[in-house]
Structure 1
């Protein structure tokens, strides 16, 4: 039975496996003019790009969930919800393409960035940044759950 990781089942794991196999082949001293190390690095880089895309989508989800939770403003709540839905879909799609990404997500970094972006937006409402928790109050499951929304602290929907 072939136990290799499939390109179509987990793209990130496939890129990592292919890079490893290329490096092994380069140690065999196959007499071809291929720049094995840089080819392996480029393949790994493609996998890292997938991770950055998922983390970037999560940053936007966090930013807008924080605004929805903490802002007393009635508008632009609809735009924030739409952004959350769009970015959730992007993150979910990336994780479906590469399930192994889930274990590599740096939620602390994503939250720090999302919180910083939310703080800029909430300054318009004259809300101090310290109203938002220092550590991420959302689990990865909540961030990806298309039916989950935080409760607004001002009673808005």
Structure 2
């Protein structure tokens, strides 16, 4: 185990993710299950990794990321319009509902129903936090923890 976070570290953290209005979008403290971040694997934004670098076990800190450094800006290309008949098998779509849609190659993509107007249904495929400034409150619990083989695949 190293004493500070490096470019290729695995970091076990508790974090809260808040929106500009102070509402909590996600918190590992709420369910008591910390998250494992793997620096350098491409899953974290460069700005988030930069905030974690050189931190030590026990560090508690907060910072705010702009949309382009967090979940990206809202893209109008990811807002799609569907005909109501395309929802016949799924039932009546409700504004705010999250539904899974089949993408290319059989993959599934979540989309949020933004508007239902007559025969037209508007679905937003942007990340729900896209376009938002977000505040992270992070506590570093452990750096490069030794994982049991059964835990290595279940912690993300």
Normalised to the residue count of structure 1, the TM-score between the two structures is: 0.21
From the two aligned structures, give the one with the greater helix fraction: 1
Larger relative contact order, structure 1 or 2 (CA cutoff 8 Å, min sep 6): 2
Query: Which structure has the highest strand share of the two?
Result: 2
Structure number with greater Rg is 1
Q: TM-score with structure 2 length normalisation?
A: 0.21
